[in-house]
Amino acid sequence: MDMKLEVVVLPVSDVDRSKGFYESLGWRLDADFVADDGFRVVQLTPPGSPCSVIFGNGVSSAVPGSAEGLHLVVSDIEAARAELARNGVEASEAFHDSGGVFHHAGNENRVPGPDPERRSYASFASFTDPDGNGWVLQEITERLPGR
């Protein structure tokens, strides 16, 4: 049986501010549903992604800004950083991990610059949304078998 990740819930403090932020990244607005009782669900999808994010009023009891390690796959880490900058988002410099396998939590073991060999899965950059939810860009140019 296939099981596909469809939606990630983001805890946010200001729904309209978050909606504007993600729309400014070029994410498609799929839904903005408001019920009479104040319940609100906003759903947006990154370009080319089969998975969306949702946030709103009454959608999550998590602390706003507490999501971290959300990954967006890009084919060119520097081009992705430049696009974020054009959209007013401050992203980290490209980095790779000193261990070479995957990045550590936080800023631990970050080495400035993309992976020297530009291996797929090994170059990263990071940014946060207005609440502090943490995103990681990961450069993937060639998928591992079975992916």
Sign for the CA dihedral angle at 95, 98, 99, 103 comes to negative
The pLDDT of residue 146 is above 80: no
- Tens digits of residue pLDDT in 64-117: 999 999 999 999 999 999 999 999 999 999 999 998 878 888 888 899 999 999
Q: How far apart are CA 84 and CA 98, in angstroms?
A: 25
Task: Write down the mean pLDDT value for the chain.
Answer: 94
- Report residue 142's pLDDT band, with 50, 70 and 90 as the boundaries: confident
The pLDDT of residue 133 is above 80: yes
The pLDDT of residue 21 is above 90: yes
Give the pLDDT of residue 95: 95
Give the pLDDT of residue 49: 95
- Tens digits of residue pLDDT in 35-79: 999 999 999 999 999 999 999 999 999 999 999 999 999 999 999
Q: What are phi and psi of 55, to 5 degrees?
A: -160, 170
Sheet arrangement for strand 95-97 = 70-74, 134-139, 123-128, 95-97, 110-112
Give the pLDDT of residue 53: 98
Greatest C-alpha distance within the chain: 55
